[in-house]
Amino acid sequence: MLTARQVCTFYLDKQMYGVDVQSVQEVIRYQEMTEIPLAPDSVVGLINLRGQIVTAIDLRRRLGLPCRADTELPMNVVVQSDDGAISLLVDQIGDVQEIDIDNFESPPETLQGASRRMIRGAYKMKDRLLLILDTERAMNVALLDD
């Protein structure tokens, strides 16, 4: 019986988030982007990933967090979905963590708005909380930004 899962972690506004490692295609440094006119606010552009055109979504905007400083370049967590690859822009990349699935809890009551809808749940780590992102909801640009 499966008792642990691996999660690729990253940081947004000093909070640790994670996605299932099996959905991650790759993690890359900041890439130049082409803007998309009339796109939702969280869709910040398109990147060319070795010939593959990938939509970039700023998770800070998507989750209703404050914008990062102009001097701070985001990192790309490229995840796969049924519709192809999407780049999730994050502040910093963490490690791959192996977590005990028995420690999974529902999202904290303190989460509000878009964050609450896009977080599957949380794991209590030794020194912090790991929020698990629902990548399908985060990538669904058909859902309006709050």
The domains of the chain, with CATH numbers, are 4-139 (2.40.50.180)
For 67-78, how does the pLDDT look when each residue is reduced to its tens digit (9 = 90+)? 999 899 999 999
Query: Distance between CA 62 and CA 98 in Å, rounded?
Result: 26
DSSP annotation of 102: G
Examine the pLDDT at 54 and tell me if it is beyond 90. yes
For 101-119, how does the pLDDT look when each residue is reduced to its tens digit (9 = 90+)? 888 888 888 877 777 889 9
Relative to beta strand 84-90, strand 92-100 is: unpaired
- List CB contacts of 112: < 8 A, sequence separation 6 or more: none
Average pLDDT estimate for 26-45: 94
Query: Distance between CA 34 and CA 78 in Å, rounded?
Result: 17
What is the identity of the amino acid at 96?
A: V
For 4-29, how does the pLDDT look when each residue is reduced to its tens digit (9 = 90+)? 889 999 999 999 999 999 999 999 99
Tokens representing 65 are 């967090």
Alpha-carbon distances of 21 from 33, 77, 144, rounded to whole Å: 25, 11, 27
Give the residue carrying structure tokens 């490229």. 78
Q: pTM (2 decimals)?
A: 0.89
